[in-house]
């Protein structure tokens, strides 16, 4: 039986290592016990054929299993969970709630967090970035407060079982772990720690980090040096 193939970068700046979204797919595959292969892309090649045929927006990851090719990490994680009968509860209502949390992670919690990354990293030198930060930080804190209140003293988002919803929510919250944003929400910090302590996550992270063997394109070096992140 052939193994699915995912795409990933062979190099990203140090601040992005452990955060690129193929990690979410690797984690799901590790949770269900599915071996996989990785097609590594050099920076820039994702914007050209043949990757554009796999991913019309020129991003990673993608997932290929036989004739099936998928993009978007959330869609891939959902497919893996459904195909292997894991990461989603069997009872229909519980299953729907787990999927609900998948959407919440990607559509409600992640957008303001990515706004922060854009303002502080990718567009940090633009005149509009610094004035935007107070509003961005307020939106992040609002979402964290709401999520913290819902989680309460629970182990996972919907009971005692880890689901694909938790996998994606932990993946999103990790983006700001260590930035101070979570300091007021100890239950969310503990929640992230429970997720990242899972052996499947540890294997997925180690595999992603081991794959960064390439070099930055010449056109990125000046920007990286300015950030102090040159490899």
Q: Give the model's pLDDT for residue 81.
A: 98
192 and 97 belong to one structural domain: yes
Question: What is the reported pLDDT for 228?
Answer: 61
Burial of 151-171, coded b for 16+ CB within 10 Å and e otherwise, reads beeeebbbeeebbbbbbbbbb
CATH code, 51: 3.40.30.10
Structure tokens at 140: 């992040």
Confidence of residue 37 (pLDDT cuts 50, 70, 90): very high
Q: What's the mean pLDDT when you consider all of the chain?
A: 94
- Asked if 40 contacts 70 with a C-beta cutoff of 8 angstroms, the reply is no
Q: In this structure, are 98 and 178 located in the same domain?
A: yes
pLDDT mean over 9-13 = 95
Q: Inform me whether the pLDDT recorded for 221 exceeds 80.
A: no
> Residue 14 above 60 pLDDT?
yes
What is the CATH number for 171? 1.20.1050.10
User: For 155-201, how does the pLDDT look when each residue is reduced to its tens digit (9 = 90+)?
Assistant: 999 999 999 999 999 999 999 998 899 999 999 999 999 999 999 99
From the centroid of its chain, how far is CA 201? Answer: 12
Q: pLDDT at position 121, please?
A: 85
What is the residue-wise DSSP string for 56-109?
TTS-S-EEEETTEEEESHHHHHHHHHHHHT-SS-SSHHHHHHHHHHHHHIIIII
Same domain, yes or no: 110 and 181: yes
Q: Give dist(CA 30, CA 162) in Å, integer.
A: 14
Going by C-alpha positions, the residue among 56, 53, 20 that lies closest to residue 38 is: 20
35 lies in the same domain as 68 = yes
Chain length of the chain: 231
Dist. CA 64–CA 54, nearest whole Å: 9
Q: Is the pLDDT of residue 73 over 70?
A: yes
The distance from CA 136 to its chain's CA centroid, rounded to whole angstroms, is 20
Does 28 lie in the same domain as 69?
A: yes
Q: What pLDDT does 227 receive?
A: 60
pLDDT, average across residues 85-101: 97
| Res 231: pLDDT | 44
The boundaries of the domain holding residue 13 are 5-86+202-227
Whether residues 188 and 206 share a domain: the answer is no
Check residue 225 and give its pLDDT. 63
Cα–Cα distance for residue pair 62/189, rounded to 1 Å = 30
CA atoms of 101 and 116, how far apart (whole Å):
22
On whether both 99 and 78 belong to a single domain, the answer is no
- The domain total for the chain is 2
- What is the greatest pairwise CA distance in the chain? 54
36 and 109 both lie in a single domain: no
3 state DSSP class of 161: coil
Residues 17 and 63 in one domain: yes
d(CA 21, CA 164): 14
Look-up: residue for tokens 């992040």? 140
- pLDDT value at position 226? 62
Could you give the percent of the chain with pLDDT greater than 90?
Answer: 87
**Which residues 6+ apart lie within 8 Å of 115 measured at CB?**
132, 136, 139
For residues 1 and 137, the answer to whether their CB atoms sit within 8 Å is no
Same domain, 49 and 132: no
**Whether 41 and 81 share a structural domain:** yes
Structure tokens at 184: 């007021």
In this prediction, residue 2 carries a pLDDT of 82
**Per-residue pLDDT tens over the stretch 20-30:** 999 999 999 99
Q: 77 and 160, same structural domain? A: no
Residue 122's pLDDT band (cuts 50, 70, 90)? confident
């Amino acid at each position: 039986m052939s193994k699915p193939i995912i795409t990933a970068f062979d190099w990203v700046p140090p601040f992005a290592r452990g955060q690129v979204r193929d990690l979410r797919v690797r984690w799901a595959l590790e949770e269900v016990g599915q071996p996989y292969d990785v097609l590594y892309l050099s920076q820039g090649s994702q914007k050209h054929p043949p990757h554009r045929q796999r991913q019309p927006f020129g991003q990673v990851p993608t997932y290929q299993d036989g004739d099936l090719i998928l993009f978007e990490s959330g869609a891939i994680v959902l497919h893996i969970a459904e195909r292997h009968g894991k990461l989603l509860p069997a009872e229909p209502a519980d299953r729907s709630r787990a999927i609900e949390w998948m959407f919440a992670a990607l559509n409600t919690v992640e957008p303001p967090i990515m706004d922060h990354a854009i303002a502080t990293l990718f567009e940090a030198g633009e005149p509009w970035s610094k004035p935007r930060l107070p509003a961005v930080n307020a939106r992040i804190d609002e979402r964290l407060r709401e999520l913290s209140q819902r989680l309460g003293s629970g182990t996972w988002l919907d009971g005692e079982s880890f689901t694909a919803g938790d996998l994606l929510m932990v993946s999103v919250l990790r983006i700001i772990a260590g930035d101070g944003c979570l300091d007021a929400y100890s239950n969310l910090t503990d929640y992230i720690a429970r997720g990242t302590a899972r052996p499947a996550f540890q294997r997925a992270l180690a595999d992603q980090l081991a794959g960064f063997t390439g070099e930055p394109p010449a056109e990125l070096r000046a920007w990286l040096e300015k950030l102090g992140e040159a490899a």
